[in-house]
Amino acid sequence: MASVARLEQRSFNAWPAVRTAVMDGWLLRSSGGYTKRANSANAVQAGTLLDEGLLQAIEAWYARQQLPAIFRLSPLADAQCDALLAARGYALVEPSRFLLRHGTPADCQLPAVPVEPRCTPAWLAGYAQASGLAAQQQPWHQRIVDGIGGQCGYATVEQGGRSVAWGLAVLERGDAGLYDVVVAPECRRQGLGRQLVCGLLQWAAAQGAQQVDLQVRGGNQVAEQLYASLGFVPVYGYHYRVQR
């Protein structure tokens, strides 16, 4: 569980929430509803428990943010937590996996991808359009990105003189995590995702990272196959319980 706790902590730091609170082993994260990852309660230590009183306090905290209570249940949460939330009518959604890759990307010999140390308006706009972000979500996305404290690499793949893929790598205590990986919908299934991820892996290796992690939603077979082919292996799974 020690390695799970470390990976979870790295993820919290690399993808920070706009508002946070800590309640009895749970880290509460809130960012205007943009992504469940940044708007959920997360166990921070092995065997974290949940009882009726604590559940009500967490629900009240999210209600003050005008958000439903969402729990992201990793292996750090005791199995009793999932049972309690299920009994209270919380819906199980988005089973996902935390993936990890060891070593340097010697197998990534695709064309170089430009990686910038700072986020630009063009990067934000391109990612937003390719991801289909609604106008009200875009300021929250920018606030999350602006809040990242670690060293960052913002990658953009170009094709025919225009930007077609975007991704972000964040260095955290000597390792790196990948976030915001997206290819423009009309340009998918052309190998651009592989080129993008390889570019980010190369950047991470140049910064001295020995491990790279990412999180992928279950059922996304295209992404899972790509990451497996690049040496990423599942470390653990998690899922969300959403208040109804």
pLDDT single digits (tens) 106-139: 556 667 899 999 999 999 999 999 999 999 999 9
Count how many domains the chain has.
2
142 and 50, same domain (yes or no): no
Question: In the sheet that 41-43 helps form, which strands lie side by side, from edge to edge?
Answer: 19-23, 26-30, 41-43, 70-73, 233-242, 91-102, 211-217, 175-183, 162-172, 151-159, 115-116
pLDDT single digits (tens) 25-63: 999 999 999 999 999 999 999 999 999 999 999 999 999
Q: What is the pLDDT averaged over residues 76-88? A: 98
**Which pLDDT value is given to residue 220?**
86
**Which pLDDT value is given to residue 151?**
97
CATH assignment of the domain containing 196: 3.40.630.30
Q: What is the pLDDT averaged over residues 68-79? A: 98
Is the torsion defined by CA of 67, 87, 236, 216 positive or negative?
negative
42 and 114, same domain (yes or no): no
Q: What is the mean pLDDT of the chain?
A: 94
Global pTM reads: 0.93
118 and 67, same domain (yes or no): no
How far from 86 is each of 71, 89, 235, 244, CA to CA, in Å?
11, 5, 25, 11
- Residue 22 forms part of a structural domain: yes
- Residue 216 forms part of a structural domain: no
Containing structural domain, residue 23: 2-98
